[in-house]
């Protein structure tokens, strides 16, 4: 199965993608994570993306679509893909169609995480991840069981994203409204959009996504 998780910054795309990976052995394809890895490694893509990401703007369509194609090529054909944060523009949506078709895959479902924008700033500014395994946490909503120790791998090192400040979050939201929300009708016309309440408790969001995917 190939699915898109669509929603504004902080909607819970990464959180829910990690859970789908654990439950179904699918692969999370997060263009944000790929770009952050490129920035960290100092690759040519990372050098181009760094300032754009720190400003909360969108990296070029060509760069992100190439990253997605490469990741799909490295996956077994039988493994399902979760597109997290991609596509984000109409040209990216068109590229995804070609990328999937040329690899004999099809898009099964677009899950739109509906959220109240006012809550997103709190979610994003409280977010951090394990520096070792990448497990996501939140200062209020998802703390490690033992403070300062990752539940998953036991590491004591955590990190925060440089673009997780209020000013950049506002730009990221404006980019979402202007460029990403308008791609939804493409998928609505095909009857493959399912709306899930992203304001619910994390476990309830997971249950709602499972209910959407079950009959397929
Ligand atoms: P990206 O990394 O994709 O960031 P984003 O879309 O802004 O989304 P986030 O990762 O901030 O939010 P999320 O929905 O994953 O939320 P999460 O689950 O972490 O992109 C970053 C940048 O890279 C972009 O700005 C752009 O520059 C560039 N980029 C990436 N893809 C691109 C593309 N395709 N084209 C061009 N440029 C691209 O949750 C947030 C927090 O809330 C967590 O702490 C979590 O614990 C908590 N939380 C989650 N769910 C709940 C809940 N139900 N209740 C309470 N708390 C919750
Ligand atoms: Mg994310």
In this predicted model, what pLDDT tens digit does every residue of 88-104 receive, in sequence order? 999 999 999 999 999 99
Distance CA 111, CA 192 (A): 8
Q: How confident is the model at residue 215 (pLDDT cuts 50, 70, 90)?
A: low
Q: What is the pLDDT of residues 43-76, one digit of tens each?
A: 999 999 999 999 999 999 999 999 999 999 999 9
Domain range spanning residue 109? Answer: 2-115+180-213
Q: What CATH number is associated with residue 105? A: 3.40.50.300
What is the average per-residue pLDDT within 153-170?
Answer: 95
**Who's near 151: CB < 8 A, 6+ residues apart?**
135, 144, 145
pLDDT of residue 216: 67
Q: What is the pLDDT of residues 24-33, one digit of tens each?
A: 999 999 999 9
For residue 164, is it within any domain?
A: no
The average confidence (pLDDT) of the chain is 96
pLDDT of residue 145: 97
For residue 191, is it within any domain?
A: yes
**Who's near 184: CB < 8 A, 6+ residues apart?**
6, 110, 112, 193
- Cβ(36) – ligand 1 distance below 6 Å: no
The binding site for AMP consists of 31, 36, 57-59, 85-88, 92, 161, 172
For atom 42 of ligand 1, the residue with the nearest CA is: 123
User: Is residue 172 flagged as an active site residue?
Assistant: yes
In this prediction the pTM is 0.94
For residue 135, is it within any domain?
A: no
Beta bridge partners of 129: 136, 159
For residue 25, is it within any domain?
A: yes
Number of domains in the chain: 1
Pairing of strands 158-159, 2-6: unpaired
For residue 205, is it within any domain?
A: yes
């Amino acid at each position: 199965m190939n699915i898109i998780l669509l929603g504004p910054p902080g909607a819970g795309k990464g959180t829910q993608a990690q859970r789908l990976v654990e439950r179904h052995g699918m692969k999370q394809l997060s263009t944000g994570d790929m770009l952050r890895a490129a920035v960290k490694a100092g690759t040519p893509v990372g050098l181009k993306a760094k300032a754009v990401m720190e400003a909360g703007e969108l990296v070029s369509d060509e760069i992100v679509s190439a990253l997605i194609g490469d990741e799909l090529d490295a996956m077994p054909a039988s493994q399902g893909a979760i597109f997290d944060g991609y596509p984000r523009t109409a040209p990216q949506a068109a590229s995804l169609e070609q990328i999937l078709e040329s690899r004999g895959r099809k898009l099964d479902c677009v899950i739109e995480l509906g959220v109240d924008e006012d809550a997103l700033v709190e979610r994003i500014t409280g977010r951090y991840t394990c520096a070792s395994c990448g497990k996501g946490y939140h200062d209020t909503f998802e703390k490690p069981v033992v403070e300062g120790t990752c539940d998953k791998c036991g590491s004591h090192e955590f990190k925060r994203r440089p673009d997780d400040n209020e000013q950049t979050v506002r730009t990221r939201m404006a980019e979402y409204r202007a460029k990403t929300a308008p791609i939804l009708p493409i998928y609505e016309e095909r009857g493959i959009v399912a709306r899930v309440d992203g304001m619910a408790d994390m476990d309830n969001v997971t249950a709602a996504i499972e209910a959407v995917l079950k009959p397929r």
